[in-house]
């Protein structure tokens, strides 16, 4: 992940030095709505037992963004998801018999404080997008019975890539249509009772973005 961040920072610097002759441009703010699909492949290890599962969730997610576009339409931006983004709408329930103890554990997780820092490079009628993602992974469990462990929260980084088109509606207002994919870093969590969860999370989204430049 550190190497990816260095590569993106270098790409931003090269883009500014190579393509931008002056820093004249415009600042813009806006909102977006994304039809997002989040997929997670994971495993839980408890002693010698390994349970694997793949889940997915579809949701419409709102975002706010701010960006600076240079005269040649190279754009640097920041976007934030102001609400929790649920990783999966499939809640896991498990009842186990361990000696005389049974357990029902319901597990769930959301992404919160989701920040993206991005670069857009124009190419003919399109633009290519790359960015760095930072978020908090909040785990939520309810346990009924003995021997039920809970998992803590953690931070997760990722890389975003995409392609889009932009159209001016008047001198100030614009609309963007874009497709992006986000590859989050692998996650490893250990519960209070020793279970280990490993997960690979990926997301894809089609977004409509409405902005106003100053």
Q: Mean per-residue pLDDT for 140-160?
A: 73
Mean pLDDT of all residues in the chain?
80
Q: Given pLDDT bands bounded at 50, 70 and 90, which one contains residue 3? A: low
Q: Mean per-residue pLDDT for 96-103?
A: 41
Domain boundaries along the sequence of the chain = 2-17+25-213
- What would the DSSP string read from start to end of the chain? -HHHHHHHHHHHHHHHHHH-S---EEEEEEEEEEEEEEEEEEEEEETTEEEEEEEEEEEEEEEEEEEEEETT--EEEEEEE-S-EES-S--EEEEEEETTEEEEEEEEEEEEEEEEEEEEEEETTEEEEEEEEEEEEEEEEEEEETT------EEEEEEEEEEEEEEESSSSEEEEEEEEEEEEPPEEEE-TTS-EEEEEEEEEEEEEEEEEE-
On the question of pLDDT at 201 being above 80, the answer is: yes
Q: What is the pLDDT of residue 39?
A: 86
With a threshold of 0.75, does the pTM exceed it? yes
CATH of domain 2-17+25-213: 2.40.160
């Amino acid at each position: 992940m550190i190497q990816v961040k260095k590569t993106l920072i270098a790409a931003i610097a090269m883009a500014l030095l190579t393509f931008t002759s002056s820093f004249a441009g415009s600042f813009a703010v806006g909102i977006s709505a994304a039809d997002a699909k989040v997929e997670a492949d994971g495993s839980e290890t408890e002693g010698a037992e390994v349970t694997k599962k793949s889940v997915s969730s579809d949701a419409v997610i709102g975002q706010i963004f701010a960006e600076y576009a240079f005269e040649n339409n190279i754009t640097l931006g920041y976007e934030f998801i102001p609400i929790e983004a649920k990783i999966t709408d499939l809640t896991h329930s498990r009842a186990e018999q361990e000696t005389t103890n049974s357990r029902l554990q319901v597990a769930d997780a959301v992404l919160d404080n989701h920040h993206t820092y991005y670069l857009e490079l124009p190419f003919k009628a399109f633009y290519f997008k790359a960015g760095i993602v930072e978020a908090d992974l909040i785990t939520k469990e309810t346990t009924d019975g003995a021997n039920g462990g809970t998992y803590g929260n953690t931070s997760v980084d990722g890389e975003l890539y995409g392609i889009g088109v932009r159209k001016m509606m008047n001198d100030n207002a614009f609309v963007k249509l874009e497709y992006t994919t986000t590859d989050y870093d692998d996650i490893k969590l250990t519960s209070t009772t020793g279970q280990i969860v490993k997960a690979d999370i990926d997301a894809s989204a089609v977004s409509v973005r409405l902005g106003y430049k100053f």
